[in-house]
Chain A
Amino acid sequence: MSFVECREVRKTYRMGEVEIHAADGIAFAIEKGEFVVIVGPSGAGKTTVLNLLGGMDTLTSGEILVDGVDIGKFNERQLTKYRREDIGFVFQFYNLVQNLTARENVELALQICKDPLKAEDVLAEVGLSDRMDNFPAQLSGGEQQRVSIARALAKNPKLLLCDEPTGALDYQTGKAILKLLQDTCRERGMTVLVITHNQAIAPMGDRVIRIKNGKVSDIKLQEHPVSVDEIEW
């Protein structure tokens, strides 16, 4: 059985009279330690998938099994627990608390976690050992994203979800961040899921899932994914 398995996942929003099927029977499976890239155009339903996988939203029907547990049946509190213990989240806009330093932003996550890593170690890992006491406003975008990744990693999650991690970054920085994610996946055996509209990133995934109109249009396993350094866009 796969580490993550989505079965016929549907998410329907009701806007007055109209029903919008954001996810219309999505199904895929992910194995542990894979670097997965989910690509699709805007409005295809990839964010819905992320929301559902991240426990931020409930599904209308179907099943999402993470490590054998159906999170689709979770209530709000269970979902919170799930997010807190099993999921690491990297946002497009970093979402750091402006009033806390880099170290403190990491520790903010650790505070609620059962079995955390040391903040300094994680920050060192992402290459910020000398910027630990800076406030987000004093850091560049890439550095902020590194803090964001460090915050997600420090929780030692089962699944690292990244929403357009490079979306707000320039080319070089974006690549550096993707490299960091890929390295993390490889070195720690972490299951990493990157959601992006950028087709160019697809070759670097172990598994590439394409989504179109709320449905999975294609799942491709790549035996030899390309290294970040070789990708250009």
Chain B
Amino acid sequence: MLFREFVRTLKKSRNRFFSIFMIVALGVAFFSGIRATEPDMRLSGDAYYDAQKMTDLRVISTLGLTDHDVEEIRKLPGVADAQGDYFKDFLAEIGDSEQNLRVMSYSDTFNVPELVSGRFPEAENECLLDSNVMYMEAYQIGDVVTLQEKDAEDVLGVTEFTIVGFAKHPYFISLARGSSSVGDGTLNGLLLVRPEAFVQEYYTDILVHLDGSKDLVCYGDAFEKLSQAGVDSLEEQEDRLCQDRYDEVVGEATEKLDEAKADLAEGKEKLADAKKEADEELSKAEQELKDAEQELLDAEDEIADGEKQIAKAKRTIESNESKIADTKKELAKGETELADAKKELEAQKETFAEQKAQVEEAQAQIAAAQAQIEEQKQMLEAGKAFMPEEEYQAALMQIEAAEAALQAQAAEVEAAAAQIAAGEAAIASAEEEITAGEAKIASSKAQITKGEKEIASAKHTLSQKEKDLKKAKADVADGWNELEDGKKEYEDAKKEAEEKIADAEDEIAEAEEKIADAEDEIADIEFPEWIIQERDEISQVYGEYDRDASNIGALGRVFPVIFFLVAMLVSLTTMTRMVQEERMQIGTLKALGYSAGAVAGKYIGYGLTACIAGSIVGVLIGEKILPYVIIHTYSILYTSILKVVMPYSLSYSLLAILIACGCILAAIIFSCYREMREVPASLMRPVAPKAGKKLFVERFGFWRNVSFTSKSTIRNLVRYRKRLFMTLFGIAGCMALVIVGFGLLDSISAVSQKQFVTLHTYDAVIGIDTRVSRAKYQKMETFLQEDEMIEDYLLARQETMDIGDEMTFPGMAFVVSEPERLSSYIRLHERGSEVLFDVSNDGVVIAEKTAAKLHVGAGDMLRIHVSDTEVREVKILGVTENYYQNYLFMTPEMYTDLTGKEPQYNSAYLHLNEGDETALAERSIAYDAVVQISFVDEIRDRIDEMLDHLGAVIAVIILAAAMLAFVVIYNLNNINIGERKRELATLKVLGFYNIETASYVFRENVLLTIFGILAGLALGKVLHAYVITTVEVELIMFGREIKAQSYLYSALLTFAFSMIVNALMYFQLKKIDMVESLKNVE
């Protein structure tokens, strides 16, 4: 009978049932949904990894691995399959740009790439390129990838690959690619090639599938165990196989050594031979040359003698000739003298003849002159009388002088006549002498003729001799020439010989080097070591995904608390109300003799029915929708995991149902506990209405001015505390959820807004290729200085450096070329502060998230792994607000101190003037040194695009919030209306319009909504902080603040939800029959 009554009650109180049902469904949906997301994420991951045949273990050896190793590993128990594999990092060129690529071999048995577009390679020189977004945008199928490393050919048969498709690799299910051993240390992408493309003799690693791993969920304990067992069994083999490999490598090296040694011996022999041969030949040649030279010298001596003789002979001839010539000259002179003497003689003879004539004439004249003088004397005397005495005297004197002169003349003539006579005698003797002289000359001439003849014959002999000599000289010259030739030949021969020796020596040196090398090699061969990696070591993101799943699980422990709390309150108020309503009936039943348990059973049954029905619906919906939305949202990060596996999880479902039922049951028992204890008699009486009470506030004057409906509202609020709390919690929960929703948007958009607007104030960044020539680099710098659109720029180097203690993770060293100018490009300051940090040589400034992850702060030391073996500690100067990347800001000096290298700046940060960005991009990319240019507004756009994906999550949260608000307000209204039907009907009868009646009820809701919103502000802030820090991913720090407008929107939305429910309830209110007012109190 009681059961029938129970069923009727259910039918009658649909609203009440629905309230409990809804809130339980909501709570359970959230609880089981979020909780199930954790295993669902793992299952989805597992499904993906299984589909791609992700390797379970990976063995890397320090000495490489061989087919022998593969065979041995394959034989191990528990190993399903093993396969050799290759990978190596290269700098590669695709189109104009340079990329750090990891070239990996792929197969269809291990780590199968997931083809995104194109096809799988069919030839060695074809490849699949990483399908990361940037590549998909920048390159096309058909583009060629050229590997740049020098030793590429030793590893790969081909160094140019044609892209035939884009693919994802199971090692990298997110966008991050990790670090690389080449270039700037950041791996940009993957290049998947056929294994045949690798020509290196050994495998880089061996991939291992374990028996049964496929059937296990990879993130589970069982899998861990299996994986660990695999590691153990591999470790057992490690020593043996390492020994084999060591022996093999040492053997190879020893072979090489022997070879080298043989080479050396040969070389040495050659050298000896060459030396001997050369020596012999050379000494012989030298002797010959010496002989020839001696001969020539002898010949030259002879020639010199001959020449001397000739010269002597010539001299004799010459002296004879000159003698003859002298004699001839003397002869000629003698002849001339003779001739002259003859002529003189003749002339003297003539002169004598003339002088004789003259003398005779002179004698005749003198005689004539005397006669004259006498005549004149006579005349004078005769004329004496006629002339003055004086004249006479003078004339006389003249005549006398003339007479004297004449006498003198006569004397002279006399002397001359004597002289002539003497002369005539002398001439006669001279004539005699001449005759004797002429005879002498004739004999001399004969002698000369004879001498001349002798000389001529001597000359002839001499010329003959000279001719001979000339010939001898020519012979000697020839001999010299020949000798020179001989010498040259000798030199050549010598050089040749030397070269040969040098060659031989080189060979020896080479051989020696080889030997040294080989010896070194052998010495260097360390005993190999295996690195056996499980999946989380193979793929960083494998573990991250697991952690993210756990994060979601953690959320699942917090979020539903709100719902369960509200669910409890809702059932508490609802059931309390129900029990109160049926007081009389309870009393009657008890009076009829039913036990308290039987009576209470009805209410417990009622609550549990609603609860279980709600739970089931909640589980069914929650475990599908929430994992789907959450995993899809995560697929922004984990781009590979697209297939979502979400089976119903029995354990979480049962757990959710148990918790929900426990809560509800507690609430029910609490609400009917008192009634069950009362005696039937008192139950039969209607419960005395709770007395109205004057409130504290009523003591103040303004109370009188408060309208009566408001008074009633306020008094009601205070009277029914359960409802107050239920509504407060519900609305606060709703508000908090909406805040979390909007806050998520704020926080994530802060990454772009704060990072790229507030903190990073540059306009564009240029990636620089540091390996171009100095000139090209300078060209680019000139461009940066001179381009009109570039206002100014700052050079920096970004380089990945591992940081941290036990768990290291990659930090991004940011080396600022001019630290004092950094603040106009990137502002470094603590969150909430405006005081800028100086980057100085004393230490580094690190990002907020980095600091939080390492649990360090300003003044602490940061451990930087500058190489595999070396760890350095630097002081942390400050912790800066930063939302993306684990930046370590440092000075060039600090960088040099850490790495021992001068920083090569690989990026330039630009401030731009107004202008066409596309044109600037084209201008800049034309420089060889410019790898790429990205504009900040583009980066911002890209991040904002990502935010759109969050819409689904926000929608789910807001929907849940709306439902929470709905359930609570609906329930509150239901109770209020149900409880106060009479009151409301009375008001209607009194002539209150519907709207006035409604506002009388709703005022309470509005007030509670407002209080709930206020409480929700605080709750939302706390919840948001928790959610944000829990779901945050590596590299990115989400914003911690919620915008004021988000609070406003949340408040408005919550208010709107509340009002919508009120509006819906308005119709129910309208339906209240005024006749109710006439009815008796039940």
Question: Measuring CB to CB, which residues of chain A are less than 8 angstroms from any residue of chain B?
Answer: 47, 50-51, 54, 56-57, 77, 80-85, 87, 89, 91-93, 95, 97-101, 104, 107-109, 111-113, 135-138, 151, 155, 163
Cβ A137 vs Cβ B991 within 8 A: no
Closest to A109 in B: B990
Cβ A81 vs Cβ B991 within 8 A: yes
- Given the known interface contacts A56-B989, A112-B996, the answer about A135 and B692 at a Cβ–Cβ threshold of 8 Å is yes
Cβ-based interface call for B1081 (8 A) = yes
Cβ-based interface call for B464 (8 A) = no
Cβ A100 vs Cβ B692 within 8 A: yes
6 closest Cβ pairs, A-B complex: A84-B991, A135-B692, A95-B986, A83-B991, A56-B1074, A99-B715
29 CB-based A-B contacts, threshold 8 Å: A47-B1075, A50-B1078, A51-B1074, A56-B988, A57-B1074, A80-B991, A80-B993, A83-B989, A83-B990, A93-B982, A93-B1079, A93-B1081, A95-B983, A95-B985, A97-B987, A98-B690, A99-B711, A99-B712, A99-B716, A104-B708, A108-B990, A111-B707, A135-B692, A136-B692, A137-B689, A137-B691, A137-B692, A151-B990, A163-B1078
B residues in contact with A81, CB < 8 Å = 991
Q: Measured between alpha carbons, how far is A50 from B1075 in the docked complex, in Å?
A: 10
| Given contact pairs A93-B1080, A151-B990, a sample of 4 additional A-B residue pairs in the complex whose CB atoms are under 8 Å apart | A80-B988, A91-B989, A98-B692, A155-B990
Shortest distance between the CB of B687 and any CB in chain A (Å): 12
Q: Measured between alpha carbons, how far is A136 from B986 in the docked complex, in Å?
A: 15
- Given the known interface contacts A99-B712, A137-B689, the answer about A91 and B986 at a Cβ–Cβ threshold of 8 Å is yes
Q: Measured between alpha carbons, how far is A108 from B986 in the docked complex, in Å?
A: 11
Query: Which of A85, A98, A137 has the most C-beta atoms of chain B within 10 angstroms of its own C-beta?
Result: A98
B residues in contact with A51, CB < 8 Å = 1074-1075
Closest to A108 in B: B708
Shortest distance between the CB of B137 and any CB in chain A (Å): 66
| B1069-1082 contact mask (Cβ, 8 Å, vs A): 1 or 0 | 00000110111110
Q: Measured between alpha carbons, how far is A107 from B712 in the docked complex, in Å?
A: 12
Residues of B693-732 at the interface with A, using a CB-CB cut-off of 8 Å, are: 693, 707-709, 711-712, 715-716, 719
Cβ-based interface call for B527 (8 A) = no
Cβ-based interface call for B133 (8 A) = no
A residues in contact with B708, CB < 8 Å = 100, 104, 107-108, 111
Shortest distance between the CB of B1040 and any CB in chain A (Å): 45
| B24-64 contact mask (Cβ, 8 Å, vs A): 1 or 0 | 00000000000000000000000000000000000000000
Closest to A157 in B: B991
Cβ-based interface call for B1067 (8 A) = no
Closest to B1078 in A: A163
Q: Measured between alpha carbons, how far is A182 from B709 in the docked complex, in Å?
A: 32
Cβ B1080 vs Cβ A56 within 8 A: no
Q: Measured between alpha carbons, how far is A51 from B707 in the docked complex, in Å?
A: 29
Q: Measured between alpha carbons, how far is A172 from B88 in the docked complex, in Å?
A: 108
Shortest distance between the CB of A47 and any CB in chain B (Å): 7
A residues in contact with B993, CB < 8 Å = 77, 80, 84
Total cross-chain contacts (CB, 8 A): 97
Cβ-based interface call for B394 (8 A) = no
A residues in contact with B994, CB < 8 Å = 80
Shortest distance between the CB of A118 and any CB in chain B (Å): 15
Cβ-based interface call for B688 (8 A) = yes
Cβ B691 vs Cβ A112 within 8 A: no
Shortest distance between the CB of B954 and any CB in chain A (Å): 41
Q: Measured between alpha carbons, how far is A89 from B982 in the docked complex, in Å?
A: 14
B residues in contact with A85, CB < 8 Å = 991
Q: Measured between alpha carbons, how far is A151 from B989 in the docked complex, in Å?
A: 12
Cβ B992 vs Cβ A80 within 8 A: yes
Shortest distance between the CB of A3 and any CB in chain B (Å): 20
Q: Measured between alpha carbons, how far is A99 from B986 in the docked complex, in Å?
A: 14
A residues in contact with B1078, CB < 8 Å = 47, 50, 91-92, 163
Shortest distance between the CB of B1080 and any CB in chain A (Å): 6
Q: Measured between alpha carbons, how far is A151 from B1075 in the docked complex, in Å?
A: 19
B residues in contact with A47, CB < 8 Å = 1075, 1078
Cβ B991 vs Cβ A87 within 8 A: yes
Q: Measured between alpha carbons, how far is A138 from B693 in the docked complex, in Å?
A: 10
B residues in contact with A104, CB < 8 Å = 708, 711
B residues in contact with A95, CB < 8 Å = 982-983, 985-986, 989, 1077
Cβ A138 vs Cβ B1080 within 8 A: no
Q: Measured between alpha carbons, how far is A112 from B988 in the docked complex, in Å?
A: 11
Q: Measured between alpha carbons, how far is A23 from B994 in the docked complex, in Å?
A: 27
Shortest distance between the CB of A123 and any CB in chain B (Å): 15
Shortest distance between the CB of B165 and any CB in chain A (Å): 73
A residues in contact with B996, CB < 8 Å = 112
Q: Measured between alpha carbons, how far is A22 from B715 in the docked complex, in Å?
A: 40
B residues in contact with A87, CB < 8 Å = 991
Shortest distance between the CB of B705 and any CB in chain A (Å): 12
Shortest distance between the CB of A92 and any CB in chain B (Å): 7
Q: Measured between alpha carbons, how far is A99 from B1003 in the docked complex, in Å?
A: 15
Shortest distance between the CB of A169 and any CB in chain B (Å): 14
B residues in contact with A100, CB < 8 Å = 692, 708, 711-712
A residues in contact with B1079, CB < 8 Å = 93
Cβ A97 vs Cβ B689 within 8 A: no
A residues in contact with B690, CB < 8 Å = 98, 137
Cβ B990 vs Cβ A112 within 8 A: yes
Q: Measured between alpha carbons, how far is A92 from B1075 in the docked complex, in Å?
A: 12
Q: Measured between alpha carbons, how far is A84 from B987 in the docked complex, in Å?
A: 10
Q: Measured between alpha carbons, how far is A47 from B392 in the docked complex, in Å?
A: 239
A residues in contact with B1081, CB < 8 Å = 93
- Given the known interface contacts A112-B992, A163-B1078, the answer about A135 and B691 at a Cβ–Cβ threshold of 8 Å is yes
A residues in contact with B1077, CB < 8 Å = 91, 95
Closest to A161 in B: B989
Q: Measured between alpha carbons, how far is A82 from B989 in the docked complex, in Å?
A: 10
B residues in contact with A84, CB < 8 Å = 990-993
Query: Which of A95, A111, A136 has the most C-beta atoms of chain B within 10 angstroms of its own C-beta?
Result: A95
Shortest distance between the CB of B1002 and any CB in chain A (Å): 16
Cβ B1080 vs Cβ A137 within 8 A: no
B residues in contact with A98, CB < 8 Å = 689-690, 692, 983
Closest to B718 in A: A99
| B763-792 contact mask (Cβ, 8 Å, vs A): 1 or 0 | 000000000000000000000000000000
Q: Measured between alpha carbons, how far is A111 from B709 in the docked complex, in Å?
A: 10
Cβ B716 vs Cβ A89 within 8 A: no
B residues in contact with A54, CB < 8 Å = 989
Shortest distance between the CB of A99 and any CB in chain B (Å): 4
A residues in contact with B982, CB < 8 Å = 93, 95
Q: Measured between alpha carbons, how far is A77 from B691 in the docked complex, in Å?
A: 34
Query: Which of B709, B996, B1077 has the most C-beta atoms of chain A within 10 angstroms of its own C-beta?
Result: B1077
Cβ B983 vs Cβ A97 within 8 A: yes
Q: Measured between alpha carbons, how far is A107 from B1079 in the docked complex, in Å?
A: 24
Cβ B719 vs Cβ A99 within 8 A: yes
Query: Which of B707, B709, B1074, B1079 has the most C-beta atoms of chain A within 10 angstroms of its own C-beta?
Result: B1074
Q: Measured between alpha carbons, how far is A184 from B719 in the docked complex, in Å?
A: 37
B residues in contact with A50, CB < 8 Å = 1078
Q: Measured between alpha carbons, how far is A88 from B693 in the docked complex, in Å?
A: 28
Q: Measured between alpha carbons, how far is A99 from B709 in the docked complex, in Å?
A: 10
Q: Measured between alpha carbons, how far is A8 from B448 in the docked complex, in Å?
A: 210
Q: Measured between alpha carbons, how far is A85 from B991 in the docked complex, in Å?
A: 8
B residues in contact with A113, CB < 8 Å = 991
Q: Measured between alpha carbons, how far is A122 from B990 in the docked complex, in Å?
A: 17
A residues in contact with B987, CB < 8 Å = 97, 108
Closest to B989 in A: A89
A residues in contact with B986, CB < 8 Å = 91, 95, 97
